[in-house]
Structure 1
Amino acid sequence: MVKKYGKRLYAFLVFLFLYAPIIVLIVFSFNDSKSRANWNGFTLKWYIELFKDTSIMKSLYYTLLVGVLSAFISTVLGTLAAFGIHSMKGFKRKLLINLNYLPVLNADIVTAVGLMILFNFIGLQLGFLSMLLAHVTFCTPYVVLSVLPRLKQLPKNTMEAALDLGATPFYALTRVIIPQIKPGIIAGALMAFSLSIDDFVISFFTTGQGVTNLSISIFSMARRGINPKINALSTLMFLAVIIILLIVNRKASNEGGKK
């Protein structure tokens, strides 16, 4: 009995340690004061001022735009790359898998400086396009790593069986293979999106004048003191992510129940 409740208490303390900062952030987003130490009453004024702040709204716009576009592009590229790697054998397959690990294991600062030098070398002006390409670069390997295990779980002759039954290669790919690896694709897309909206280092080195995201804006504000409007924005983004995860998990559970 003691051991059972001890495990529960330990798990509770771990989760409390992980989520306490988020809880404090959410609570103080409703604080009627700029102070992060004193509670002066409940208010919604920071949420109202948030949507009136054009600079934060502009940063939010670029954050979501780059996040959605980079997640979509890297999901397509990563899924196609996973198909190619899965079809290979021997040394070539091991080589490509190890090369795919490099952006994942490499330090962000090294990737950021390398991409900045590359963009300057090819004459690409730093701005929205350079940031988007940089995000696609570091998000795609995660999609590959998410899709590959699903491909390995497929029966080896699935594609051949579909072709023998009269399906065209495109039909077999879209109606037979992709539905079976869809959880891996969705997981890779969500991971790519979350990595993109959370990135600071690579975005900071690969963006140009007039293009910024929330991470860079928050970093700039931190040198002058965190504005409570950031607490409100972070709360809304946290709730949005929770809602998306609940929808995805509910859909996955429903599909699992049908099977």
Structure 2
Amino acid sequence: MKPNRFLQIVALGIGFLFLYVPIVSLVVYSFNESQLVTVWTKFSVRWYQALLEDDELIAAAWLSLRIALLTAFASVFIGTWAGFVLARMGRFRGFTLYTGMINAPLVIPEVIQGISLLLLFIEMGKWLGWPAGRGIFTIWIGHVMLCISYVAIIVQSRVRDLNPSLEEAALDLGATPFRVFFAITLPLISQALVAGWLLSFTLSIDDLVLSAFLSGPGSTTLPLVVFSRVRLGLNPEMNALATLFISVVTVGVVVANRFMQNAEKRRLALAM
């Protein structure tokens, strides 16, 4: 084996160990009976049972799940149009401002975004009476603002790689631009939409900073609950919760990857 090849394999192995050994140990210790998260005693599912009886954690998880789903769909809907405009509309008047507004959430710290939105909602509530309080709606707005940028960048890069001859052929055959977009362009960028949806869902369900600024009484998300508990000490119940999330995410990634592979095969078949 060549030395360079050997070094590549070693570096890759170290990287995978660094990434996945902590995750594997977390999953293993979620089945530990001991209350000490680093001391193994014997196999048990007591912490999964305790998790099912934890009403605060379950309520926070359902709230985060609802917000993440709403955020993912809204971000894909708005971000797709934003990315399409960036890729196809050329340098129109105000293009620089438009690009800066789309990319701003990528470079502005979340703390600044959270404070800005908090002050905005406070002033709107003072002058307009809306929103009356902070809750699921204000959190959702903050998460959508953050995730649109990621979806727009993904869609923009995918649209630029498309072969325009397919769309031009549809236009020559009499299809309207909207018909071409929904019948030709949208299926071809479906992989980017799935990737943007998954990224938006992950960013939303994992967000702590924006949620801390935009949440109110009765709207505590899962990251906020976990963060408040971890500050008081590690709890094996958190290992069980993390294991469930890892399982759900793994299944979701496998399904999405399968869908993207099938979509790529259909795209290649159509291109041929």
TM-score (norm 2): 0.90
Q: Could you say which residue in structure 2 is the equivalent of 1:92?
A: 94
Shift of 1:225: 1.6
The 5 Å alignment of 1:157-172 reads: 158-172=166-180
Code of the aligned partner of 2:29: F
Answer yes or no: is 1:149 the counterpart of 2:161: no
Structure 1 Cα separation of the partners of residues 166 and 83 of structure 2: 16
* Aligned equivalents of 1:8, 1:206: Cα separation in 2: 45
Aligned letter for 1:98? Answer: G
Distance 2:38 2:197 in 1: 38
Distance apart, 1:157 and its partner CA: 5.3
Q: Separation in 2 of the partners of 1:249 and 1:38? A: 37
Output one character per residue of 1:71-99: Cα deviation in whole Å (capped at 9) or x when no partner: 00011011112222333322633432232
Partner of 2:213: 205
Cα RMSD between the aligned structures? 1.6
Residues 1:66 and 1:209: Cα distance change in structure 2 (over 3 Å):
same
Post-superposition offset of 1:171: 2.5
Cα distance in structure 1, aligned partners of 2:7 and 2:84:
46
Does 1:43 find its partner at 2:44?
yes
Aligned equivalent of 1:214, options 209, 216, 222: 222
Query: Aligned AA for 2:83?
Result: A
- Deviation for aligned residue 1:214: 1.2
1:129 equivalent in structure 2: 137
TM-score by length of 1: 0.94
Which of residues 220, 227, 245 is equivalent to 2:235? 227
Match of 2:128 in 1: none
User: 2:78 — aligned with what?
Assistant: 77
Q: 1:2-30, CA deviations, whole angstroms, 9 ceiling, x for partnerless residues?
A: 43223212211111112222122111101
Structure 1: which 5+ runs fail to align?
Answer: none
Equivalent position of 2:255 in the other structure: 247
Q: 1:89 to 1:171 in 2, by over 3 A?
A: closer
Alpha carbons 1:86, 1:93 under 8 Å: kept? no
Give me the whole-angstrom Cα distance separating, in 2, the residues matched to 1:93 and 1:19.
43
Query: What letter is aligned with 2:27?
Result: I
Q: How does 1:103-142 map to 2 (within 5 A)?
A: 103-123=105-125, 124=131, 125-142=133-150
User: Structure 2: how far apart are the matches of 1:104 and 1:16?
Assistant: 30
Number of residues paired by the alignment? Answer: 259
CA displacement at 1:160 relative to structure 2: 4.1
